[in-house]
Amino acid sequence: MTVRRPAVWAMLAVLALAAATVCALAPDVPALRLPAALALALWLPGHALVELLGLAGRDRVRTLTLALGASLAIALIVAVELAAFGVLAAETWAATTAAACFAASLAVSHRHAALGPATRVAPGPPRPRHLALAALAVTAVAAVGTAVVLARTPLPVPDDRGYTVLAVAPTASGSGAVTVRATSEEATSRSYVMRVSFGGRVAEERALTLEPGETSEQRVSVPPDAAGPLVVSLLDTARIPPVPYRSVRVADPRRIEVVS
Amino acid sequence: MAALLAVGAVGVLLMTAGNALARSGEAGDDLLFWLGFLLIVVPPAVAIVGPRPSRGARVTLLVGVGFLLYLTKVLHDPFAFTFSDELLHLSNTEQILREGALFPENPILPVSVYYPGLASLTAALSIATGLGAFPAGLIVIGAARTLLMLSLFLLFERLTGSARLASVAGFVYIASPNFLFWTAQFSYQSLALPLAGVAALAVVMRGLERDQNDRQGWTVLFMVLALAVVMTHHLTGYALVATLVAVSLAALAGFGRAREAAWALALFTAVAAAVWLFQVAPIAGDYLGTIFGRSFGGVADTVAGTSEARRPFRSSEGEVAPLWERVTGYVSVLLLALALPMGLFRILRRRRRSAFLVVAGAAGAAFMAILPLRLVPSAWETANRASDFLFVGIGLGIALAALHLGRDGRATAPRRAAAAVFIAVVTIGGALVGWPPSARLSQPYEVRIGDRSVQPPGVALAHWSRRELGPGNGYVADESNGRMLLAYGQQRPFTGRDGLARYALESTAVTPELRAALRENGVAYAAVDRRRVSRDALQGIFFARPGQPLQGRDGYLPPERTGTLDRPDTDRLFDSGDVVVYGVAGLYR
């Protein structure tokens, strides 16, 4: 295919506007947003700047490198500036980056107009297509794909790596109650006795069985005459006698609050 | 070429399999890991040493290998950022996403928020694509890695006039100690370094141009890139200034061409860096001053014999690397040290060609000169970070030496074998030197317990803190839980062995001074992890590997070290077994 180099500016400008439009107006179409945003961050503004500065030569490697580097720099500077003014958003970043690209493209058009008629770039030699090349590509993709699946597969560890969390937090400010949550990340179902005590005096005991992944939530009311700390313990019934497995404590349960 | 990259892809699979074995506690993990590494690096390296590959094939192989190695880092931890610095920069990014404004709070690495290039770009890409900060960050660093390889190739090619030399030098750069993990992590230097590489290329190209318009074009491009570097990473910006000054001085001294002098560009970058330092990030002066001051002091103490020297291949916990690792590490340095003088001699013979080339040679010599700093505990990190910049000179020097030895152009079998062994030893040696052995292979992050996927207790702690306590609470915590609290819990954690966290977590008594320190810093909560490994930011966030004790590599702290805050005037709010959260506001109210 023959390429007219002066048409580059028009292509860059149109693509930049299209990419910005997609980023701003199609937030629910990730299949479009991803390539559009990547083009704005990694290619378009840098390529426009490189064209504007007359640095895009016949060396495609050089053009690619400069375009990628300049694009990252421009996208970065735009993002920092927008964040500095507190207006970093998909619309503002895409529009500003695209505007920079558009302006550079217009300047390129003037530059090319001044240079006179367009030059034609001869196409490169046709590239051979080999079955072997396709097979190698399939091999590479299959290997990397398998690696991704393998890496993202959670592997089993011994059951004793599981854990149970017991936590306490105020139900609401001044409500005179706390919420106790017990969450199991254990391998199997575990049985406990949940013991609630105030000032060393047991106020409540109840059996609690947690399945893997289950969270038990209990609201513990604090009596107005409660004296001493509130202590909630999970006793492990698998041991005889049951021993404290997890424990939380509130020094003054009538005044518990979140400190921020 | 395609076959070599396909073999490299199989290498990625093998390294991932090695990581999977490591997470399972099975034997053979190391073997698969290094076999995969060699498959990625060695066959393409042997190919590009020969004269046959085209320029395009050389570029493709160099970029391909760089990217495949980046892919192995991604697959090392595919669920989340887990490296210690990654969690800090993730927090900066998330805060920009939440608040839409710069300079959020980061009590663990305060200076990082004042260099917002990486966080802002990642946040912009995240909101524009709809991806989360984690995948957006992976894309940014992946693009940066690609840019690094491309810019290195072009830089080396312009300096030497040879695509063959450039590709060999690029492959030697892969042996840089920080290449496999450090510069592949989600961190500000990983982005700034490639941008600086393109800026350096622009300087070289500007020096080669006679046409004034073209020189102006390169100048403008350099200025855009330099601004981005200055906004992204302090040290890289200063290294760029130093490089420009050195090139200009070399040109002044008669090396290369007079038009290579880049005083104006050096002045522009220096002014930009100074304005940023004094107007935006004055804290960077203290931060870097402390690091360099500690390094110089450490060197003086070690030389004077008042401080013990650091023992290579031995961790601070006393863990000693296996014999083969120590041997390979030392041999790799020896090989570089033996080959470099010949390369430097070749550079001196070409001193008329380019001032930049002379400066690169000096950088290579400087890398060797500062190697002894690795024996000084407080200067080790400085020497390690400097290698990212100085290894450019090693790449050039070694490539010039290698191709001079094979100057008749014949790629005989012995020569190919020698090249293969050399590349294998120096790249593996670099990887061994650059990252702790116990963190080199994957550790269990998201695991299968029973029939479910489970994440470590530190993640549960962070989510609980955000949900139940709300964001922005002052915490003291160990290195690993502190990072989780910052990145995922939106808390304000103080960590560090020398600071408030150590004072609070390692005191054996609650003193009036401790109460005052907690009050002054607004610390309301303390996370106490009884596992010693929790103090290791690279390993503490993970489950213990199967085969290791439940409590991790280093066992538990003694109870008297973890029970100080378990008092009647504190609240005990969270208990996961190993990690307990205390409400400590009662200590100073």
pLDDT, tens only, B339-359: 999 999 999 888 777 899 999
Question: Percentage of chain B with pLDDT > 70?
Answer: 98
Confidence of residue A43 (pLDDT cuts 50, 70, 90): very high
Q: Which residues of B145-180 are buried (b: 16+ CB within 10 A; e: fewer)?
A: bbbbbbbbbbbbbbbbebbbbbbbbbbbbbbbbbbb
pLDDT at B409: 64
Peptide bond into A241 cis (omega under 30): yes
Residue B542, pLDDT > 70, answer: yes
| Residue A3 confidence (pLDDT) | 42
Q: How confident is the model at residue A201, as a pLDDT?
A: 87
Which residue would you say has higher pLDDT here, A1 or B59? B59
Q: A157 or B71, which is more confident?
A: B71
Confidence class of residue A126 from pLDDT cuts 50, 70 and 90? low
* Partner-chain contact B573 A169, CB within 8 Å: yes
- Cβ contacts of residue A149 below 8 Å, gap of 6+? none
Query: Per the CB < 8 Å rule, is A186 touching B450?
Result: yes
Query: Over 90: is that where the pLDDT of B239 sits?
Result: yes
Percent of chain A with pLDDT over 90: 42
Count of residues in chain B: 589
Q: Residue A192's pLDDT is what?
A: 92
The answer to whether the Cβ–Cβ distance between B460 and A165 falls below 8 Å is yes
Q: Which residue has the higher pLDDT, B419 or A44?
A: A44
Mean pLDDT is lowest, of A215-224, B30-39, B48-57, B453-462, for A215-224
Average pLDDT (B19-28) is 90
Contact B13 A78 (CB under 8 A): no
Q: What is the pLDDT of residue B143?
A: 98
Query: Phi and psi for B539 in degrees, rounded to 5?
Result: -130, -15
Contacts of residue A50 in chain B, CB cutoff 8 Å? 221
pLDDT beyond 90 at B247: yes
Does residue B265 carry a pLDDT above 60? yes
Question: Quick one: how far is CA B152 from the chain centroid?
Answer: 18
Q: Are the Cβ atoms of B224 and A49 closer than 8 angstroms?
A: yes
A39 — contact with chain B (CB < 8 Å)?
no
Q: What is the pLDDT of residue A4?
A: 44
- Closest by alpha carbon to B444, among B16, B19, B33? B19
Which spans in chain A are helix H? 7-25, 30-42, 44-52, 60-84, 90-115, 131-151
Position of tokens 């031995």?
Answer: B314
pLDDT surpassing 80 at residue A258: no
pTM, two decimal places: 0.92
Interface test with B, best of A42, A47, A65, A249 (most B CBs within 10 A): A65
Reported as a pLDDT band with limits 50, 70 and 90, residue A260 is: very low
Per the CB < 8 Å rule, is B6 touching A140? yes
CB contact under 8 A, B448 and A155: yes
Model confidence pLDDT, tens digit, residues B78-100: 999 999 999 999 999 999 999 88
* Residue in B78, B144, B568 closest to A229 by CB: B568
Residue B153 in this model has a pLDDT that exceeds 80: yes
Chain B residue numbers touching A29 (CB-CB < 8 A): none
pLDDT tens digits for range A177-220: 888 999 999 999 999 999 999 888 888 899 999 999 999 998 88
Angle between helices A30-42 and B133-160 (to 10 degrees): 30
Which phi and psi angles does A122 have, rounded to 5°? -70, 140
Give the Cα separation of A13 and A36 in Å (integer): 13
Q: Given A61, A75, A151, which is nearest B124 (Cβ)?
A: A75
Tell me the β-bridge partners of B314: B320
Do residues A180 and A248 touch, judged by C-beta distance below 8 A? Answer: yes
Closest CB to B457 among A62, A146, A163: A163
Amino acid at B425: V
Instruction: Specify the range with the lowest mean pLDDT, choosing from A114-118, B129-133, B185-189, B524-528.
Output: A114-118
Q: What is the pLDDT of residue B433?
A: 86
Question: Can you tell me the distance from the alpha carbon of B474 to that of A223, in angstroms, rounded to the nearest whole number?
Answer: 30
From the CB of residue B410, how many other CB atoms can be counted at a distance below 10 Å?
9
- What confidence tier does A37 reach under pLDDT thresholds 50, 70, 90? very high
Q: Kindly state the average pLDDT of the residues A112-121.
A: 57
Higher pLDDT, B121 or B539: B121
Task: Name the pLDDT band for B537 (thresholds 50, 70, 90).
Answer: confident
- Residues in chain A with CB shorter than 8 Å from the CB of B71 are 144, 147
For residues A218 and A132, the answer to whether their CB atoms sit within 8 Å is no
Average pLDDT score over chain B: 91
What is the per-residue pLDDT across B61-72, written as a single tens digit (0 to 9) for each? 999 999 999 999
DSSP for B504-571 reads: HHH-SS--HHHHHHHHHTTEEEEEEE-BGGGG-TTTTTSPPPTTS-TT-TT-BPPHHHH-TT-STTSE
- Decide if pLDDT at B375 tops 90: no
Our CA-based measurement puts residue A181 at a distance from the nearest CA of chain B, in whole angstroms, of 10
pLDDT value at position A175? 65
- pLDDT at A159 (0 to 100): 74
Q: Which residues contact A260 (CB under 8 A, 6 or more apart)?
A: B469, B470, B472, B473, B524
Residue B395: the pLDDT is: 95
Q: Are strands A164-170 and A3-4 parallel, antiparallel or unpaired?
A: unpaired
Give the integer Cα–Cα distance in Å for A230 and B349. 81
Nearest to B232 by CA among B283, B189, B199, B183: B189
Those residues with Cβ within 8 angstroms of residue A259's Cβ, 6 or more apart along the chain or in another chain:
B473, B524, B525, B583, B585
A137, closest residue in chain B (CA to CA): B6
Residues of B in contact with A66 (CB under 8 A): 198, 221
pLDDT band at B117 (very low <50, low <70, confident <90, very high): very high
Is pLDDT above 70 for A115? no
Average pLDDT value for residue range A152-156 = 89
What is the pLDDT confidence band of residue B230, given thresholds at 50, 70 and 90?
very high
